[in-house]
Amino acid sequence: MTRICVPVCARDFDRMREGVQRAADVADIIELRLDCLNELETAARYLAELDGNAPPLILTLRSAEQGGHTSLDYSSRRRFWTALKVRDTDYFFDLEFDLVREFASAESSGPFELDWKRVICSHHDFNGVPPDLEGIYEAMAATPARILKVAVQANDATDCLSIVKLLERSKSEGRELIAIAMGSAGMMTRVLGPSRGSFLTYGSLDDESGTAPGQITARQLRDLYRIDSINSQTQILGILGNPVSQSLSPHIHNAAFASDGLNAVYLPFEVTDVNQFISRMVHPKTREWEWNVRGLSVTLPHKSSVMPYLDWIDPMANEIGAVNTIVAQDDRLLGYNTDGQGFIRPLWERFGSLQNTKCAVIGAGGGARAALWALGNDGANISLYARNAERASLTARDFGVTCDRLANADFAGFDVVVNATPLGMSGENQEMTPVSAAQLRGVRLAYDLVYNPIETAFLREARAAGCDTLTGIEMLLAQAAEQFKLWTGKEPDSRVMRASVLGGLNE
């Protein structure tokens, strides 16, 4: 059974009551984060006034060390729970492991006539995966609490293995467990956890009200990832990169899977160590968890570094020197590159053939290599530009093009100038551009491979220079359609894909 718990964190109970009303539309369970309240002593009175028609409630008073918003010490938290009087049998009580141990050792049945069937014994680690996680679980399992909760910080997607293995163990032992890997690298556990036996998963009311690192919204869990339809047979796909939290690929592919009626889900995988992720989680011969991995998209910075870990690479991808698509087939991983086709198709729609056009590519990474290959294959006259021409000279030599320094470059007379750098991408570099309007005057078309945001600093400079422009959305959609065909053998609905991108950008 899939249960989404929506935490409500507010400074006073009027706002908390409002949050409960909003959460009731999307939640199966609502968590009242009492540690957020300015006046905790009013909690009992307000609890009695809450609407009895709300979903079941979890009462939580988290300590600061365990991720709470309160400075209450152990004794103060203990006094609160001991004095609390509640009658509603739908309440759950989330108590930290230290309190559970004390209450379990007391001669009486515990505070507020504690019903251990309603107790969640929780442990959080915001630094990483503790080496003694199994021992922590065993100590918690020795308490009378019916439900255990373990939340650890994932610093790499491979850290999620400790959580899924704990879920497998608890399921085999008949224990009820909530298991979460926090942070953007742990997002897969929030989506896949319930289908692997987690008692519940957490989803926030909106992007601003999350109560733990990496927590996504309940609406995203239900609408984007279709969490209610995920089961052990669901095909797993996703995007491998770092960072990936801003990627629109989950919107594109999940919408396409839903439109085609496929039992598949597409997830972000934030990965630093490619070798560990591929060997321990993906490759059919060596992975430590049996899940139905069908394929991966690959983005920065791993398009080249992933290649040594694949069993076969398409000749086009080898020529480009980068892989952006992995297909799991039988016991092998196959590598492809759909960036080249995705890059050139929008240009064909503008120019027809690129034969003898004068084109400049800025950058020397995986996107630049795909652009160089596609333009060269279509007969364009190409120049490569980079901030560090010496570092980019190897890329230039691979494709037989000239390489010049970007500083003070003048692109007047070029038909196409391509930004294949990450400058302008949503985040800390969003307001940056590799070139200015003065450098772009006299260019027919400026093409930015950055797609989020749609309106980049590079494109603003290009419009100021009087250039036509092409956004990265066009390449994104074209390459995604090719990926979809490699994974499924089917043509995707292009209208669904485009609508999903625009919807994702507007969230």
Count of CB atoms within 10 A of residue 426's CB?
16
CB distance 57 to 29 below 8 Å: yes
Q: Decide if 246 contacts 425 (C-beta within 8 A).
A: yes
Those residues whose C-beta lies under 8 Å from the C-beta of residue 506, and which sit 6 or more positions away, are: none
Q: Indicate the residue type of 458.
A: F
Answer whether 435's CB lies under 8 Å from 409's CB. yes
Report the sign of the C-alpha dihedral through residues 489, 494, 497, 501, in that order.
positive
Task: Name the strand (E) or helix (H) holding 137.
Answer: helix 133-141
Q: How would you classify the pairing of strands 4-8 and 201-202?
A: parallel
Q: Is the pLDDT at 503 greater than 60, yes or no?
A: yes
Write down the residue that tokens 């196409």 correspond to: 416
Two structure tokens written together for 279: 């060997």
- Here the tokens at position 416 are 């196409």
| Residue keyed to tokens 């905790």 | 40
207 by Cβ neighbours in 10 Å (0-12 / 13-18 / 19+) ranks as exposed
Check residues 387 and 307 and name the one with the higher pLDDT: 307
Q: What is the per-residue pLDDT for 110?
A: 52
∠ CA 460-464-467, nearest 5°, is 90
SS3 content of the chain, % helix, strand, coil (to 5): 40, 20, 40
Look at residues 231, 254, 270 and tell me which one is the last residue of a structural domain.
Answer: 231
Indicate the residue among 231, 260, 286 that finishes a domain. 231
Q: Are residues 95 and 199 in the same domain?
A: yes
Residue 38: band (very low, low, confident or very high) from pLDDT cuts 50, 70, 90: confident
Examine the fold and report which residue of 231, 253, 275 is the final residue of a domain before the chain moves on: 231
Same domain, 128 and 192: yes
Q: Considering only CA atoms, which of 93, 86, 28 is closest in space to residue 58?
A: 93
Q: Which residue reads 């934030």 in tokens? A: 270
Pick the closest to residue 119 from 101, 95, 103 (CA basis): 95
**pLDDT at site 55:** 82
CATH of the domain at 36: 3.20.20.70
Q: Are 129 and 249 contained in the same domain?
A: no
Structure token digits, residue 458: 């590079």
Sign of CA pseudo-dihedral 404, 408, 411, 412: negative
Q: In this predicted structure, what is the pLDDT of residue 365?
A: 87
Distance, CA of 220 to CA of 226 (rounded, Å): 8
Q: What is the pLDDT of residue 53?
A: 64
Q: pLDDT per residue over 110-144, tens digit each? A: 555 678 999 999 999 999 999 999 999 999 999 99
Q: Are residues 462 and 484 in the same domain?
A: no
Residue 378: give its domain's CATH number.
3.40.50.720
pLDDT of residue 212: 77
Q: Are 365 and 420 in contact (CB under 8 A)?
A: yes
DSSP element (H, E) containing 381: strand 381-386
Q: What average pLDDT does the segment 44-55 reach?
A: 68
- CATH code of the domain in which 312 resides: 3.40.50.10860
Query: How far out from the chain centre does Cα 123 lie?
Result: 23
Residue 48 contacts by C-beta under 8 Å, 6 or more apart in sequence? none
8 A C-beta contact, residue 155 and residue 185: yes
The whole-angstrom separation of Cα 269 and Cα 53 is: 38
Span 95-109, pLDDT tens digits? 999 999 988 886 555
Whether residue 383 has pLDDT greater than 70? yes
> Are residues 81 and 137 located together in one domain of the fold?
yes
What pLDDT score was predicted for residue 86? 66
Contact 400, 430 (CB under 8 A): no
List the beta bridge partners of residue 32.
8, 59
**Structure tokens belonging to residue 481:** 């359609």
For residues 209 and 318, membership in a common domain is answered with no
pLDDT at 343 over 70: yes
- Residue 477 is inside which H or E element, if any? helix 472-488
Among the residues of 284-412, which ranges form H helices?
315-320, 339-351, 366-377, 389-399
In which band, very low, low, confident or very high, does the pLDDT at 77 lie, cut at 50, 70 and 90? confident
Q: Are residues 495 and 442 in the same domain?
A: no
186 and 46 within one domain: yes
For 82-229, strand residue ranges (E) read: 91-96, 119-125, 147-153, 176-182, 201-202
Residues 185 and 254 in one domain: no
pLDDT tens profile 173-218: 999 999 999 999 999 999 999 999 999 999 999 887 777 778 899 9
- Environment class of residue 355 by beta-carbon count within 10 Å: exposed (0-12), middle (13-18) or buried (19+)? exposed
Same structural domain, 137 and 35: yes
Residues taking part in catalysis: 303
Closest among 494, 235, 490, 480 to 336, alpha carbons compared:
480
Is there a single domain that holds both residue 259 and residue 218?
A: no
* pLDDT, averaged across the chain: 92
The pLDDT value recorded for residue 89 is 61
Q: Measure the CA–CA gap between 375 and 344, rounded to whole angstroms.
A: 7
Do 432 and 499 lie in one domain? The reply is no
Contact 240, 298 (CB under 8 A): yes
**Residue from 223, 250, 226 nearest 238 by CA:** 250
Count of domains in the chain? 3
Name the residue range of residue 272's domain: 238-337+479-505
Q: What is the pLDDT of residues 431-459, one digit of tens each?
A: 999 999 999 999 999 999 999 899 999 99
Q: Which helix (H) or strand (E) element contains residue 294?
A: strand 293-298
- The reported pTM is 0.92
pLDDT tier at 219, thresholds 50, 70, 90: very high
